[in-house]
Structure 1
Amino acid sequence: MASLQMFIFALLLVYSQSVPTQFSKPGCPEKCGNLTIPYPFGIGKECYFDDEFEISCNSSTHVASLPALGGLNIQKISQENIVVDAFNLPFLFNKTTGENLDGPLLGEIDRSHYNYSNTQNKLVSFGCDTFAYIQDYSSRQIVSECATFCNDGNNSSFSDLGHCEADLISHPGKQFRAWMHTMNTPKKLWKGRDCNFLFIVEKDFSVYEKIDFTNCEKVYVFPLALDWAISNTTCSDGNVICGENAECIDHNGERGYSCECKQGYTGNPYLPSGCKDTQGKIKA
């Protein structure tokens, strides 16, 4: 009996290794270029959960984008978040008064499934004698902050330009304001510059060599991480899409819920049979 079980185990092991893990909905495109498209995201009708998860794949460039977020290009999709290309501009200052000419940078997501990620993003600032911070739009709570200093406000090289980075200490939700203020230090070094720089970027991304510190009009496209979830319902509602051998996890506030494969299983928890056994269990 034991030898029979071992034989069956060996067959199951070979079978499990030969069957690729299914991430997209059956019959739907699995990739756009090198990007894997896991359900509830999808390319083409009937391939995504709802319109906010629709993926557009450019047939010429093989670049994926999200129509629900204004066509932002997608760099990566994971079970918790997506990384998209977001636009950034320098902050312009009145060199006499130090007044910020642009007002705050406003960030807003008007889609229910997405939020700015606090764990996967960071605040990055470059300038001379400036204070940069991110503020939750509704509560006015400070989400992140840091200050920059430098020895020579007229030098535009990175080596002599003040630089700071900071984690996001709380969740900015769907709306935030990002500010830069000049600081009245004795030298007022901000007078030597026409603009300073503030970016909210994916935490592993380095911006140093990508900035032209002499150009105050250049638009930058840098990666930004967004958390995603199934919104407008909770696990207790009984109308969730988590598949077999997956569990439902509620999120705070308006974030809704997400699905995860149970311990000992791996795969896509949003597909009906997406979570596969990784422990080689055999019924006696």
Structure 2
Amino acid sequence: MQITKQNMVMRYALFHMFFLLSLAVAPPSNAATNNTKPGCQSRCGNVDIPYPFGIGPYCSMNVDFNIDCNISINPPKPYLSFVNSNDTYVHYLEVINISKSQIYVKNSELQLARSCYGMPTNNNTVNHSTRLDFFATPYTLSDANQLTVVGCEDLAVVRQFSNLTHIYGGIGCLSFCTDTLSIGTCPSWGCCQTNISKTDFLYVTLFDMQTIGRRDSRYLPCSLASVGMIGDLGNFIFNLSDLDDSTAFLKNNKEFMDRPLVLDWRIDPFSNCNKTSCGKNSVCNNWDFLYGGYQCRCMEGYEGNPYLGCQGYF
């Protein structure tokens, strides 16, 4: 078939139009994808792992930002590890998401306090408190967390402070219920919720307050408290009879334990900004005068990872 000059002009015009459209929808540069060190894995399962975090010791800024990717499960899951200042063993937190200033993690047992009064205990029902200690790490508990307590005449006492400044504080949350109802709701019957302020240390202990209700014996033996993200429970409804056994409650009310813990993160709690703190075309901001450390962000008109270096839009 003979190709006329008019057809050639038409084909060239169409090609030019598609080329311009491809530029319009393409990312302005490769800055947005430059989120990890060269040669490093950028994702674990469904979670993006941006620098200064990294999968493996050579891909993160330092050991505090190491992420372990468990590939033995499908999809793989990322984990952050840390050691409490008074502990000799490692705690593992499943990573749910990482943003520019926060990391969302889960460890249901570490987030949980529970007590069952007048009951024999075993490894599955042993009473314990919640102790979260992030002193000397680049993480603090965010004020986006809250404490949720379920039980009848149970008081959860929260002690929190900054080890850096020895500023102490505390709150309490008291849950009530009555034997005329069979259903508990949050926050209302059989449930108490209160917000938590930013801190690098939190300790939650449960106390039996049956004397306030003037009972000769407890209506239900078990109480539980969990620390997690504000608002994730919504309108939580549960059977009060589940509090006959803490394992039954946890089995039948999985959403109670499924809330992530929100941690604020920054670089090096013992340092402030200097000329080499951040990457190219980025600025450094001192994080918090109580907790120390700093964060980096791209300068206006630039994008990318500020710890590796930012590039211009065009």
Structure 1 and Structure 2 fold alike (TM over 0.5): yes
Question: Is the aligned partner of 1:258 residue 2:295?
Answer: yes
Contact map agreement 1:28 1:42 (CA 8 A) in 2:
yes
In structure 1, the partner of 2:284 is 248
Change (3 A) 1:262 1:188: farther
Unpaired runs of 5+ in structure 1?
1-8, 96-100
- The worse-fitting range, judged by mean Cα deviation, of 75-84 and 128-137 is 128-137
CA distance in structure 2 between the partners assigned to 1:44 and 1:187 by the alignment: 57
CA distance in structure 2 between the partners assigned to 1:196 and 1:249 by the alignment: 43
Equivalent of 2:130 in 82, 98, 105: 105
Overall identity of the aligned pairs, in %: 28
In structure 1, the partner of 2:198 is 171
Bigger radius of gyration: 2
* TM-score normalised per structure 2: 0.69
SS in 2 for 1:38: coil
Shift of 1:80: 1.1
Shift of 1:112: 1.6
Deviation >6 Å, runs of 4+ = 9-12
Shift of 1:163: 1.3
CA distance in structure 1 between the partners assigned to 2:150 and 2:177 by the alignment: 10
1:102-181 paired onto structure 2 within 5 Å: 102=127, 104-109=129-134, 111-118=136-143, 120-137=144-161, 138-142=166-170, 144-152=171-179, 157-159=183-185, 161-168=189-196, 170-173=197-200, 175-181=201-207
Contact map agreement 1:150 1:189 (CA 8 A) in 2:
no
Contact map agreement 1:56 1:64 (CA 8 A) in 2:
yes
CA distance in structure 1 between the partners assigned to 2:216 and 2:203 by the alignment: 25
Unpaired runs of 5+ in structure 2?
1-19, 84-90, 120-125, 251-256
Residue by residue over 1:21-73, the C-alpha shift from the partner in whole angstroms, topping out at 9 and shown as x without a partner, is 32222221111011000000011342110011111111232111123453321
Shift of 1:192: 1.0
Measured on the aligned residues, the alpha-carbon RMSD in Å equals: 3.3
SS in 1 for 2:64: helix
Shift of 1:111: 4.9
1:1-284 paired onto structure 2 within 5 Å: 16-17=27-28, 19=30, 20-61=32-73, 62-68=76-82, 70-86=91-107, 87=109, 88-93=112-117, 102=127, 104-109=129-134, 111-118=136-143, 120-137=144-161, 138-142=166-170, 144-152=171-179, 157-159=183-185, 161-168=189-196, 170-173=197-200, 175-183=201-209, 184-188=211-215, 191-206=218-233, 208=236, 212-217=242-247, 220=257, 222-231=259-268, 232-235=270-273, 237-240=274-277, 242-250=278-286, 251-273=288-310, 276-277=312-313
Query: Match for 1:134: what amino acid?
Result: V
The count of corresponding residues between Structure 1 and Structure 2 is: 257
